[in-house]
Structure 1
Amino acid sequence: MPGEALAAVGLDPRAVGGGGVRRVTLPDGRAAVVKRDPSVPAEAAGLRWLAVPGGPPVPEVYAADAEWLVTQEVPAGSASAVAAEEFGRRLAALHDAGAPDFGAPPPGGPADAWIGATGMRNEPGDSWPEWYAEHRILAYVRRADLPDTAVFDEVCARLPELAGPPEPPARLHGDLWSGNVLWSVEGAWLIDPAAHGGHRETDLAMLALFGLPHLERVLAGYDETAPLAEGWRSRVPLHQLFPLLVHTVLFGGGYASRASAAAHAALRAV
């Protein structure tokens, strides 16, 4: 029932207010974050799925229902090179926890999930090139305002040769831009996932989009723990197509040209 998550932690809906995200103190003294949004059932399932031994810390889900999510507040801190390397090692452990299929949702999570403020379909598939083409490129090309879609069609047609060596489905955060990495006294935490089974290089490519601090140290820690396949750097534009197309759907503007440039770069990489 709506509001049952608030009742479970002793919060009065009238005191919390309407939608959005806000920090609160629970009656038992715990610092928490309260969020009201249609995406919270998927987010709650994703946070629980990402909480793996040896992985990056994620906020504990205190309570969740169909519209409200109450989670642990992440203690504030700052980025450091040492913390970045540890984050890379922990991210490798998270990916290694795996998923049943590419596109598999977290247990209990909806197939029709969210990435940011737009929909994301978690439709399982056993071939990453085919799945990525249909559900992470073309699904957003169809919805985006793009001057020319031919380059995206070519990328999808050539994905089997562009994809690199086959890899098993990894357990992805799914929206791993720098704003969803919170640096605390305990290292890097992950928030706001769009979790699903996917290719581990997609999470790493997202980290590079908007300037994560100490990114090279993160990648060094990751590669030390779970060596990346040869040529992975050349595939970064291919994996960035997904978030760039999502941003094109949401915001338009220059993201359309950035997505087109990434598609051309992906084709030049082989």
Structure 2
Amino acid sequence: MSPLDDARRAVAGITGREVADLRPLGGGDTSAAVRAVLDDGAVVFAKAAPADMPGAAEAEAASLSWLAEPGAVAVPEVRGQDGRWLVTEHVGSGSPSVAAAERLGRGLAELHAAGAEAFGAPPPGGPVDAWIGLAPMRNRTAADWPTFYAEHRIEPYLRRAVDTGALPARDARPIERVRDELPALAGPAEPPARLHGDLWTGNVLWADDAAWLIDPAAHGGHRETDLAMLQLFGCPHLERVLAAYQEVRPLAPGWRDRVGLHQLFPLLVHTVLFGGGYPAQAVAAARSAL
């Protein structure tokens, strides 16, 4: 069976509709992807997780549904998944606007306020062992955010980076200090927020004068983490996004000083996956947090 025939079979099986047209798309790092037109005229997006990423389709489907639940942000509707293929509403492409950026900021504030069962809690129906990009990500709960972040967002990737040689042991010391001193660095305690979890600019699609959130790694966490990720690789109209967020749910004093602390997690993930300049960026983020 050809890859497109496999995609056609999966989309038809998941949606219960015949596929009238099917076109391959660029699927990013993690998947094969297609745009499909169904026999009722609906346009859907489908992607297949690699065989070595068990549970990825299940985790993403649960994440998208959980993020859509409050109605705060634009998220593609989940049509279904079969353990390998995930089918969602198709989102077109457009240009970012100030109005859409401000709606994104307000929507993120409302999404975060919808909360989570606990720090580290996966979405309802989502697996504990999930993924962030190509890296495994474990959603284990903890009583407070510093404990969760130290044990399940810093330590696993720090250890892997050192063990594989991506990060020299001597350079790990500032990151180890952050891990150990998190209770003093975390700022005021907050309740667990409902996070997208991988909110870099590539996971924001601008279409229909809205900002759509895709490819989440959702879990209960600290709301500053989503906003710090959004700042890591740039985002159109970023200051308008942040200002609109602040209007709805102001951040705790000192939040700008904690951006590096919250960026440490994605930078360690990138260190493990890609190496390059990311180890130095992770160390710099750690030093900025101390």
Name which of 81, 84, 103 aligns with 2:98: 81
Counterpart Cα distance in 2 of 1:8 and 1:194: 22
42, 45, 56: which is aligned to 1:33? 45
Instruction: State whether structure 2 residue 223 is matched by structure 1 residue 200.
Output: yes
Counterpart CA distance in 1 for 2:33 and 2:57 is 11
| Deviation per residue, 1:160-183 (Å, 9 max, x gap) | 110000000000000000000011
Identity of aligned residues (%): 61
Number of equivalenced pairs: 264
Q: Which among 232, 236, 239 is matched to residue 216 of structure 1?
A: 239
Task: Give 2:92's aligned amino acid.
Answer: P
Letter of the structure 2 residue corresponding to residue 21 of structure 1: A
Matches within 5 A, 1:218-233: 218-233=241-256
Partner of 1:168: 191
- Contact 1:5–1:63 under 8 Å retained in 2: no
Alignment of 1:101-120 (within 5 A): 101-120=118-137
Match of 1:146 among 145, 167, 171: 167
- The secondary structure found in structure 2 opposite 1:100 is coil
| Superposed displacement of residue 149, structure 1 | 1.4
Aligned partner (choices 64, 80, 102) of residue 63 of structure 1: 80
TM-score norm. by structure 2 comes to 0.87
Residue 160 of structure 2 aligns to a residue in which SS? coil
What secondary structure sits across from 2:194 in the alignment? Answer: strand
- DSSP-derived class of the 1:33 partner: strand
Q: CA deviation at 1:65?
A: 1.6
**Structure 1: gaps (5+ residues):** none
* 1:240 aligned partner: 263
Cα distance in structure 2, aligned partners of 1:43 and 1:120: 12
**Structure 1 segments of 4+ aligned residues over 3 angstroms from their partners:** 2-6, 15-19
Give the TM-score of the pair, scaled to structure 1: 0.93
SS in structure 1 opposite 2:112? helix
Report the Cα distance in structure 1 between the residues aligned to 2:263 and 2:154, rounded to whole angstroms: 10
Please say if residues 6 and 68 of structure 1, whose CA atoms lie closer than 8 Å, have aligned partners that are also in contact: no
SS at match of 2:34: strand
Whether the 8 Å CA contact 1:6–1:70 is kept in 2: the answer is no
| Deviating more after overlay: 140-149 vs 15-24 | 15-24
Contact 2:68 2:75 in 1 (8 A): yes
The alignment status of 1:157 with 2:180, answered yes or no, reads: yes
Deviation string 1:220-264 (CA, Å, 9 cap, x unpaired) is 000000010000000000000000000111101100000001001
| Partner in structure 1 of residue 211 of structure 2 | 188
Counterpart secondary structure, 1:90? helix
Q: State how far apart, in whole Å, the 2-side matches of 1:16 and 1:22 are.
A: 5
The AA in structure 2 aligned to 1:30 is A
1:124 to 135, 138, 141: 141
CA contact (8 A) 1:5 1:65 kept: no
Q: Distance in 2 between matches of 1:210 and 1:194?
A: 17
Aligned counterpart for 1:21 among listed residues 33, 46, 62:
33
- After TM superposition, the structure 1 stretch with the greater mean CA deviation from structure 2, 179-188 or 204-213, is 179-188
Could you tell me which runs of 5 or more consecutive residues in structure 2 were left unpaired when the two chains were aligned: 1-6
CA RMSD of aligned residues (A): 1.8
Q: How far has the Cα of 1:52 moved from its partner?
A: 2.9
Alignment CA distance shift 1:102-1:232 (3 Å): same
